[in-house]
Amino acid sequence: MRKRIYYWTASEHINEPVISDTILNTGVKINILKAKVEPQEAFLILELFGSKETIEKALDYLSKFGEVEEISKVIKRDSEKCVHCGCCITQCPINAIYMDEEYNVVFKEEECVGCKNCMKACPFKAIEIIE
């Protein structure tokens, strides 16, 4: 099973090994897709792998040190507005958007983490986030 989450942790836990402790204490595998650490807080996009029970245990553990939010948003491209300019491609932190061999922009919706970077970058407003 795989689950993607947003994770925020407050300043008092920034210098603690929360992610590695989560792995060691729960047995879950964690892939850090994006991390932004500042003195006030840290924001991460995490991908958790394991059984349903292991992932739930990991989410409970992470919740002790910060805020967890499941990622349920995906991108949707309006094919009538999109001109395949590629502005969105460089903004995707996990390469869920790419250009194929025919220079068409392709969205892998199942890979999207809902960060909205592509939506902000699109000059034609051809991308929207759906819940």
For the ranges 8-22, 42-56, 69-83, 96-110, which has the lowest average pLDDT?
69-83
- Answer yes or no: is pLDDT of 74 > 80: no
Q: What's the whole-number mean pLDDT along residues 67-88?
A: 88
Q: How many residues does the chain have?
A: 131
Please give the mean pLDDT across all residues of the chain.
91
With b meaning 16 or more CB within 10 Å and e meaning fewer, what string describes 87-122?
bbbeebebebbeeeeeeebebeeebbbbbebbbebb
pTM higher than 0.85 for the full model? no
Q: Tell whether the model's pLDDT for residue 15 goes beyond 70.
A: yes
**β-bridge partners, 12:** none
131 pLDDT exceeds 70? no
**pLDDT tens for each residue of 60-73:** 999 999 999 988 76
Q: Helix or strand or coil: residue 22?
A: helix
Helices (H) and strands (E) in the chain, counts: 3, 8
For the chain, list the domains and their CATH numbers: 2-70 (3.30.70.260), 74-130 (3.30.70.20)
Choice between 93 and 48, residue whose per-residue pLDDT is larger: 48
